[in-house]
Amino acid sequence: MTLILSGNDYKYELEGVLKLFIPATQFRHISSDRIECANDEDFVFARAKQTEKHVLLYIICRYNGEVGRKGLLLDKKGGNEKFDEELCLSRILYKILSEMTGIVPKWGVLTGIRPVKRVNTWLNEGCDKEEVYDRLQNEYLCSKEKCDIAFATAMTQKQILDALDKKSFSLYVSIPFCPTRCSYCSFISQTLDSGRKLIPEYIDKMCREIRHTALITKRLGLKLETVYFGGGTPTSIEAEQLGALMKCIEHCFDMSGVKEYTVEAGRPDTITEAKLRTIKENGCTRISINPQSLNPAVLEAIGRSHSVEQFYNSFELARKIGFSCINTDVIAGLPNDTVESFDDTIDKLIELSPENYTVHTLSIKRAAVLNHGDKTVLKNPTDDMVEHATNRLFESGYLPYYLYRQKNMVGNLENIGWSKRGFESLYNIYIMEEVQTIIAIGAGASTKLVDHPDRLERVFNYKFPLEYNKHFDLMLSRKDVIEEFYGRSQKE
């Protein structure tokens, strides 16, 4: 499909709306005042024409042989012309495509990944619930259902965000190794078969990066609040290696202010009693044990090498060792899953009563194996799955505490973290709402520096363990940006 822009440069916004309706299409972009397409080619022609007092907006769309067109005349309002044009053109295109396809995406034209961040901004500006709903429904065409979940999430977050210490930070530790690669995965991770020989040097280099980073944070007077081991699957490495990293962190950082310490145990086939005891003894307060599904046919289809029984055994072992905060992940829309088997997974996990419960929607990324195979996996009735999960979790006393969206999500839905009251993951809230500096260690890790109220800067480590090991000293020098960032903040 060709996107033709006339009198505007809203390529990103309009393509985002197109992908709500036509997700698996390549788009060509041109700037022109004429429709320059072959007679049988699908296109969107988006025009913004300025006059002294008005802006004329209109869109012509041809898709699957059908043509739709709509227009709007806007009065110019001091200083907000660009925002109005962008949003209005997005709404026009959304309405045309809804009529042409019969599809009505529930998030409307909210195509960003952090819808709750927008709600939090409005609440901080003094909007009440009615005003928030009005803006979501009328400006962004959100459904009542998505307004409810976004507002409920913001309410859960409010007390935590209000109490945030602006001199605090979180530490992310990347272990980019997994026993095998799941078919839906696009993370920067290596299987143990190809990466095992890199691990000893990688652990040694990470300890050096931890020591270097701790010195920087001490000089800046930053306070460590949460620690998060992610990946990959951190429990892919040995118990002794996990212990070495955790002891290094404890030795280098002041841990007295740490409120939450998470290690993603993730895949049940990597969990042993020795690893769980090592994690617990070194200060971890929260772990993830993620079945993704309790349907064996689904696990086989996505390349998960663990069984349903292994998941139950791992969960029971974690409880026995004394973990009082466990997260479980599920994914809606996986191949071979049905509404009935997904609902069964949701209900059985609720019976286990985990403190955190994350419901993901399948996102087909370019790097994932599923993106190169049978596209029938995209036809799963994920909306019904997510609706059942939402209803059951609310009924069972869970509250949504963070929410985010990804590109190419099946059904244009979302990922939601649910929590028993008082067990909300601080790290997940902070990183999704972009309100706290996250300093990252290891390959594929991205440091996110936040200066209040709204300045943000990212620092990227090398993506792969081999690069990380080989170019370590150069990568370590990138950490200097942290002091430069805070130095600029103090001067301003």
With a cut of 50, say whether residue 143 has pLDDT above it: yes
Q: List, in order, residues 6 or more apart from 389 with CB less than 8 Å away.
A: 330, 332, 342, 346, 359
Q: Which of 444, 386, 379, 484 lies closest to 24, judged by CA?
A: 379
Q: Rounded mean pLDDT of the chain?
A: 89
Name the residue with higher pLDDT: 231 or 428.
428
Domain residue extents for the chain = 2-101, 115-160, 161-482
Q: Which of 189, 60, 115, 67 lies closest to 465, judged by CA?
A: 189
Neighbours of 428 (CB within 10 A): 22
| Per-residue confidence band for 197, with pLDDT thresholds at 50, 70 and 90 | confident
Neighbours of 291 (CB within 10 A): 27
What pLDDT sits at residue 189?
Answer: 54
Neighbours of 414 (CB within 10 A): 24
- Residue 38: exposure state from Cβ atoms within 10 A (0-12, 13-18, ≥19): exposed
For 225-248, what is the mean pLDDT? 95
User: Can you tell me the distance from the alpha carbon of 479 to that of 216, in angstroms, rounded to the nearest whole number?
Assistant: 8
pTM of the predicted structure, to 2 decimals = 0.89
CA distances from 203 to 283, 353, 439 (A): 19, 35, 18
Question: Which own/partner pairs from 348-353 qualify as long-range (CB within 8 Å, at least 24 positions apart)?
Answer: 348/294, 349/291, 349/294, 350/392, 350/393, 350/396, 352/315, 352/328
What pLDDT sits at residue 371?
Answer: 43
DSSP-derived 3-state class of residue 107? coil
For 137-154, what is the mean pLDDT? 96
What pLDDT sits at residue 9?
Answer: 93
What CATH code is assigned to 2-101? 3.30.160.100
Backbone phi, then psi, for 67, in 5-degree steps?
-120, 135
pLDDT digits (tens, 9 = 90+) for 90-135: 999 999 999 999 999 999 999 878 999 999 999 999 999 999 999 9
What CATH code is assigned to 161-482? 3.80.30.20
With a cut of 90, say whether residue 370 has pLDDT above it: no
What pLDDT sits at residue 108?
Answer: 94
In 267-348, beta strands by DSSP E = 286-289, 326-332
